[in-house]
Structure 1
Amino acid sequence: MRWAQALGRRALRIRNLRWWIVALICAGTMANYLARNSLGVLAPELKTALHMSTQQYSYVVGAFQLAYTIMQPIAGALVDRFGLRIGFAMFALAWSAANMLHALAIGWLSLAFFRGLLGVFEAAAIPSGIKAVAEWFPARERSVAVGWFNAGTSLGALIAPPVVAAVAIWADWRWAFIVTGAVGILWAGAWFAFYRSPETHHAITDEERALIAADRPATPAQRTPARDILRLPRFWVIAVPRFLAEPAWQTFSFWIPLYLATERGMDLKQIALFAWLPFLAADLGGILGGYLSPFLMKRGVALIPSRIVGISLGAVLMIAPGCIGLVSSPYTAIALFSIGGFAHQMISGLINTLSADVFNPAEVGTANGFIGQAGWIGGLIFSLLIGQFADTIGYAPLFAVLAVLDLIGAAVLILFIRRLVLPSPAPVPVEELSR
């Protein structure tokens, strides 16, 4: 019997298993963002059905953002404490149930309550993904891995407009929340069934386990207490640009459909046809931004500077959506949004990769949770500003501010690059990069 079990395990070995792990994480972030972006797609209809003003809608968005902001470091710490397999699956089940509860909303207050619940549980997604990348990938591959799993955020946002609109037209908006929530339940089961750490996964090859272990310090690093992480200069050098960059993505996720409806005159069907394009471009930005870093490293650029070059390029491209107020065609506006989606996901993926670069795997979930919290504080503040001023001064000046914020964030990274000290620096052989 033992011989048969051992033979079966050998037969199940999968080469390059770490990339299958990334695909599984990508599917999880897709489920996460499909549920999250359902609100934005349904916003024009919900404003009518639940008798909401633009300001009240901003409070609904803010409830999610506030809960998500508070929970990110807590969720990251819980995943660090209980492990990825159990922690990520339980959070996915919880966010799926919270999304389905949106169908019970009878006004903006109840919708805000359910939205807050969703924010509490969805906060685990990015810290969990970054922790998995830190566990499974050597440093030279992390930006590529983050680019692919981070593509799930924009893939989820990409499929949300056609999927949510189709369900809402076929049934109604309540069923749209139920269907998008059910997707997360299916993914949670798959994650719990298939995920293991590289040390214990039965399908990993000996060669891949050795490749991952070779990039780890000889002595396992100790987990730094949360209060000490907040005192580290390298934390703030990453957290400040994340604070400045995140408002753009949250504006795209929660406000593009409402902007297209109110200022560009599009109905739900037209939004379903075009609102996914910025998120398709975002996929390309996240993936290509991930490959940019190893491309530069092959040409002699060090690890941390290679990340910052990509972030700076993305910040320059963010000037495009800042100019939306200067164009009259709604299709040109969508094209500029698409450039912004490409640029932002390049920035976001590389900033998240930096947290995996400068914090060890035992603490990266907590550290990335705090960094994400900084970003979501920025997003919450900006969403409330949109709710306050969109009906009076319009969206155009607010979009222009987004471009300025990203340029400032890139400048912070350039000026304080020396603060991003790796815990155990080691040169990357050129022959390894060429593999």
Structure 2
Amino acid sequence: MSPCIVLKEFMLRRFLTLSTLALSLITSGVAQNKEKIKQLAPSAQGSTGLFNLYLADTLRRGEVSLGLNITHFNREPGDLDFTLFPVSITVGLHDRVEFFVAWETHRRVNGNAITVNKVGPGDPIVPARLNNSLGSVGFFNDSPFLDVGSGQGSGELRSGLKFNLLSEVRGNRLSLAIQPIIKFPLSQSQTRLLQGLTNGTLEAGYDFILSKNVAHGGTITGNYGHLFAGDSQGIRLQHRTNYGLGFEMPIGAGRVRAIGELVGSRFFGERTQGANPKSPVDLYLGLRISLARWISLSAAYNLNLNTINGDLPIYDIPSTGRSGWFLQMTFQRKINRAPSLRCQPNRVIIEEGESTTIQAVIVDSDNSLLSLTWRASAGRISQQGTQILFDSTGLQVGEYTVTAEVDDGDRTSSCSTDITVESPAR
């Protein structure tokens, strides 16, 4: 059996093992039915998160997100410009498990410093070469056989599952998720390989996701994981460690959120000469705007922080570009659960002319904007926040009902308390 087949079987076994372990941990724990749910949007890779990084939160069962993305970034060597058009679908399978898939419906790769048209019809496929005095081999893992100045067509497909293991709402200090992933080449045709649309091999791995809610409604998140690659066309492709740190913070009323990310990869494993001379590190700064409950719009600027700038004279090629950008529109099917409401009186029996307080205890798993109203069958009430003062002055002996109602704009809940007014003790 070839080493490539052995590696692919190993990656698939690891994917299934991680999925089974995470599922067993979830089903043995407490459901997140009271979790503070935000307007989660998919990342460019499909899993809910920021622009590229993931959050430990998941969509709830029955919820669906659709993401339309355009992202442009630069890679080394060869002054490579990537423009990707991923479309993603994310589905909540359980309140703490989501499935996602992201397909590059279109990929455009420009190689501004590579040798082109070196592979003729029927010739064996060889790694990309740089357009320098030596014609040396030089390629990036995602497009190792690029042989045209500009290639375009459909790209690769990424899929996975995210399992939420820890939640701050359940009393944990932070939220934790694990995410097995698989990346499919879809095709190994010579045309697609030479146009840089795929590296021609299956890749599989996992991510650990750690998120923490902070003051003023913000969130910070950290990602760490590995993606293992097989061989392609007899060329050994490197594995990579993916990492990143990001934040999101509401601006004003919260419909606009500022997002920042530092995202990088480090390649490891046996290396073909000229492969991946610079591990990519990207900075993203941008905004996400919730236009409505079911739609959001995101935009960001991207800065490539690790390029060839004379520190690797052996490559003898111009420095690659640094600037990129990210655009996204998402559509979401959110499940709105009615808020729960409980009336908690201080006293239910009072004497004529006395007062008592009643507290409304509200729990809303959707974190919606709520309105609270009170009414009484008689007597006077005055409201302060979620508490009211019931004044029996002027009332006769008897029983009176105080009712509270909470409204999230779609669904309502109510509770009532009966207050008994008695004659003063003599």
Which TM-score band (shorter chain)?
under 0.3
Structure with more of its chain in strand, by fraction: 2
**Higher Cα Rg, which structure:** 2
Higher relative contact order (Cα pairs below 8 Å, separated by 6+ residues): 1
TM-score by length of 1: 0.23
Return the structure number with greater helix share.
Answer: 1
TM-score by length of 2: 0.23
